[in-house]
């Protein structure tokens, strides 16, 4: 941890606690998405939090100075470009594409919040990157596609083997019938 936040908050324990919470959430999260929460009412924020809960993520409105300090402490470069205006931070460990979809759907119905960007897989994300992530199918669908791709050649092999076994059975049946006619 850098000395700057400690020095900056040395006489303000409540600010030090906020900084620690923001940093801990960022550090323990698989992703951080930042949205512009300008003009959002409490009811809208509550509704968005409720929808995000199903994706194993949490929304927290955070002063940009705390986000900037925490990102610097963690060595995350590129986050500062998104820190203008009121910012809500979404963190979690679930499927980032599901979170991006929830944000996209919510923005369509309420015209808020606008995604500013974020941090995922050790790199900064732009708003268009988050939009692209929203278009990725859910994890379960991707796993199903992988299984289908792996299973397809095996299914064809089973079909070919079944045809060969059926052909052998037809030959054996014909031989049996021929023997039955000649032996009777």
Burial readout 22-41 (b: 16 or more C-beta within 10 A, e: otherwise): bbebbeebbbbbbbbbeebe
For residue 159, the enclosing domain spans 138-184
pLDDT digits (tens, 9 = 90+) for 23-78: 999 998 989 999 988 888 888 889 999 999 999 999 999 999 999 999 888 988 88
Q: Is residue 113 domain-shared with residue 168, that is, in the same domain?
A: no
Q: Given strand 87-92, what is the order of strands in its sheet?
A: 57-62, 87-92, 31-36, 114-120, 123-126
Say what the pLDDT of residue 23 is.
Answer: 92
Q: Is residue 25 domain-shared with residue 109, that is, in the same domain?
A: yes
Q: Is residue 105 domain-shared with residue 145, that is, in the same domain?
A: no
The confidence band for 165, taking pLDDT boundaries of 50, 70 and 90, is confident
- Spell out the residues 6+ positions from residue 91 whose beta carbon is closer than 8 angstroms to its own: 25, 26, 28, 29, 31, 32, 33, 57, 58, 60
Q: Is residue 26 domain-shared with residue 115, that is, in the same domain?
A: yes
Say what the pLDDT of residue 84 is.
Answer: 87
Q: Is residue 105 domain-shared with residue 161, that is, in the same domain?
A: no
Q: Is residue 177 domain-shared with residue 151, that is, in the same domain?
A: yes
Write the CATH number for 102: 3.30.70.1730
- The CA-based dihedral angle spanning residues 5, 56, 100, 68, taken in that order and rounded to the nearest 10 degrees: 0
Q: Is residue 109 domain-shared with residue 172, that is, in the same domain?
A: no
pLDDT digits (tens, 9 = 90+) for 139-154: 778 788 888 788 777 7
The confidence band for 2, taking pLDDT boundaries of 50, 70 and 90, is very low
Sign of the alpha-carbon dihedral angle for 93, 129, 127, 134: negative
Q: Is residue 170 domain-shared with residue 119, that is, in the same domain?
A: no
Q: Is residue 19 domain-shared with residue 86, that is, in the same domain?
A: yes
pLDDT digits (tens, 9 = 90+) for 121-145: 878 888 889 888 888 887 778 788 8
Q: Is residue 94 domain-shared with residue 183, that is, in the same domain?
A: no
Q: Is residue 117 domain-shared with residue 71, that is, in the same domain?
A: yes
Q: CA of 27: how far to CAs of 12, 66, 122, in Å?
A: 22, 14, 11
Count of the separate structural domains present in the chain: 2
Among 136, 153, 168, where does a domain finish? 136
The two most distant CA atoms of the chain are separated, in Å, by: 109
Structure tokens belonging to residue 100 = 């991006």
Mean pLDDT of the chain: 84
Q: Is residue 75 domain-shared with residue 107, that is, in the same domain?
A: yes
């Amino acid at each position: 941890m850098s000395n700057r936040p400690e020095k900056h908050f040395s006489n303000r324990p409540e600010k030090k606690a906020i900084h620690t919470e923001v940093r801990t959430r960022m550090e323990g999260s698989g992703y951080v998405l930042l949205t512009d929460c300008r003009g959002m009412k409490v009811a809208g924020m509550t509704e968005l939090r409720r929808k995000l809960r199903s994706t194993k993520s949490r929304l927290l409105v955070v002063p940009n100075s705390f986000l900037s300090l925490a990102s610097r402490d963690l060595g995350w470069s590129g986050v500062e470009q998104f820190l203008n205006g009121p910012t809500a931070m979404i963190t979690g460990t679930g499927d980032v594409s599901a979170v991006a979809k929830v944000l996209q759907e919510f923005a369509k119905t309420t015209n808020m919040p606008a995604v500013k960007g974020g941090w995922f897989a050790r790199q900064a994300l732009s708003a268009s990157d988050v939009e692209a992530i929203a278009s990725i199918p859910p994890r379960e669908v991707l796993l199903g596609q992988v299984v289908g791709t792996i299973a397809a050649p095996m299914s064809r092999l089973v079909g070919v083997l079944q045809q060969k076994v059926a052909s052998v059975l037809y030959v054996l049946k014909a031989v049996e019938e021929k023997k039955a006619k000649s032996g009777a």
